[in-house]
A and B are shown apart, each in its own frame.
Chain A
Amino acid sequence: MGEVIVVTSGKGGVGKTTTSANLGAGLASAGSRVCLIDADIGLRNLDVVMGLENRIVYDLVDVTSGNCSFRKALIKDKRFDNLFLMPAAQTKDKTAVNPAQMEALCSEIKDDFDYVLIDCPAGIEQGFRNAIAGADQAVVVTTPEVSAVRDADRIIGLLEKEDLREPKLIVNRMRHQMVKHGDMMSIDDIIEILAIDLLGVVPEDELVVVSTNRGEMVVLNNNSKSGQAYRNIVRRIRGEDVPMMNLEDSGLFDKIRRIIGLK
């Protein structure tokens, strides 16, 4: 039986959908059977981030309301046979699904997969309640900004209240140069404030935008730092012990070292 992991953040725009897509593709490329569920009903986006927007026939609400089986609604990824997407409904709103339905759906789906990743909508209302209802574990995404960290703190509190203990943190869009100059909170600062375990750090990377433009996932790009960061997170989720990435380089010297394989 698989594990259901919800990707959440509280604040919008910190990279939940990008993180979900990359972890899903990363886990699939590592050989796991993965199902991604877009729980952001009314504002579906995971399909377009993954480049699967033209293949949607049925959606999450069709499944929870009994119009079709979950297998019929799942869209197979173009790149991996073991990666599937359950798209959100676009014409309904978050009240079209309730937490009990989501819980039932998750427990049904997880029999067929190793990992079920749920892309949670922003906010703390019913969309959030739905997304976490069937989850076994939670990943909280934040960026090194006061607003995102504050919302992450609130979400961690709510997750713990719902018995999703020990959520793990991903810090997204880290800018090492700014941290070095004392103009951005460091990983240690954020961990100290939030007091939770770190799952990974993803550096700010233009390649994320470039990949998303094309409906591709940066995790599959072997020459990108953010891709490397996502691959490390994937390995940690799969139970490997991977040290945190050194974000310090990006200088010419490091590039050369990487090319000749010293890194």
Chain B
Amino acid sequence: MLDFINRIFGRESSSSKNVAKERLRLVLVHDRAGVSPELLESLKADLINVISNYMEIDKDGLEVSLDSSENQVALVANIPVKKMKRKFQTESA
């Protein structure tokens, strides 16, 4: 019934074809890049190791994903920084 009402008011976002399109878009990002969830986990672990040399980060809050827009796939990493390492700061100063 809700579907029907939405359709009358032209709310296309609820239509099943948009759900199909969105799901396809996401699954194809992974298919095309040939990236498995295991590979992403391994990449995440390596990123943590490297970045931890320079700053203290929130390991649990770290998110790595592949994103697609305009025919391009981007690796998007959201890495919450807790604090910079003083030792590195003084060394570089």
Which residues of A have CB within 8 Å of B31? 150, 153-154
Please state if A146 and B20 are interface contacts (CB–CB under 8 Å): yes
- Judged by DSSP, the binding face of B is helix
Selected from A154, A157, A179, A185, the residue in CB contact (under 8 A) with B21 is A185
User: Can you name 14 A-B pairs with beta carbons within 8 Å?
Assistant: A145-B20, A146-B20, A146-B24, A150-B28, A150-B31, A153-B32, A154-B31, A157-B32, A181-B7, A182-B7, A182-B15, A183-B16, A185-B17, A193-B24
Q: How far is the CA of A146 from the CA of B23 in the complex (A)?
A: 8
Q: Which residue of A lies closest to B15 (CB)?
A: A182
A149 vs B20: C-alpha distance when bound (angstroms)? 10
Residue of A nearest to B10 (CB): A182
CA distance A208 to B82 in the complex (A): 64
With A and B bound together, what is the CA distance between A232 and B4 in angstroms?
Answer: 36
From B12, B20, B28, A185 is in contact (CB under 8 Å) with B20
| Contact pick for B24, options A150, A179, A181, A182, CB 8 Å | A150
Task: Please report which residues of chain B, range 2-23, place their CB below 8 angstroms from some CB of chain A when the two chains form the complex.
Answer: 7, 12, 15-18, 20-21, 23
Q: Which residues of B contact A183 (CB under 8 A)?
A: 15-17
- How distant is A178 from chain B, measured CB to nearest CB, in Å? 8
Decide if B53 is an interface residue (CB 8 Å cutoff).
no
Count residues of B near A (Cβ-Cβ below 8 Å): 16
CB contacts (< 8 Å) of A157 on chain B: these are 32
Please, which residues of chain B bring their CB within 8 A of the CB of A193? 21, 24-25, 28
* B71 interface residue per 8 A CB criterion: yes
Q: Which residue from chain B places its CB closest to the CB of A195 in the assembled complex? A: B71
Smallest CB gap from A179: residue in B: B17
Determine whether A186 belongs to the interface, using a CB cutoff of 8 Å to chain B. yes
- Residue B93 CB within 8 A of the other chain: no
Q: Give A153 to B24 CA distance when docked, in angstroms.
A: 10
- The verdict on A181 contacting B15 (CB below 8 Å), with A193-B21, A195-B71 known, is yes
Interface string of A154-191 (1 = CB under 8 A from B): 10010000000000000000000001011111100100
Encode contact with B along A219-239: 1 for CB under 8 Å, 0 otherwise: 000000000000000000000
| Given pairs A150-B24, A150-B28, 6 additional interface contacts (CB within 8 A) | A146-B20, A150-B27, A157-B32, A182-B17, A189-B17, A193-B25
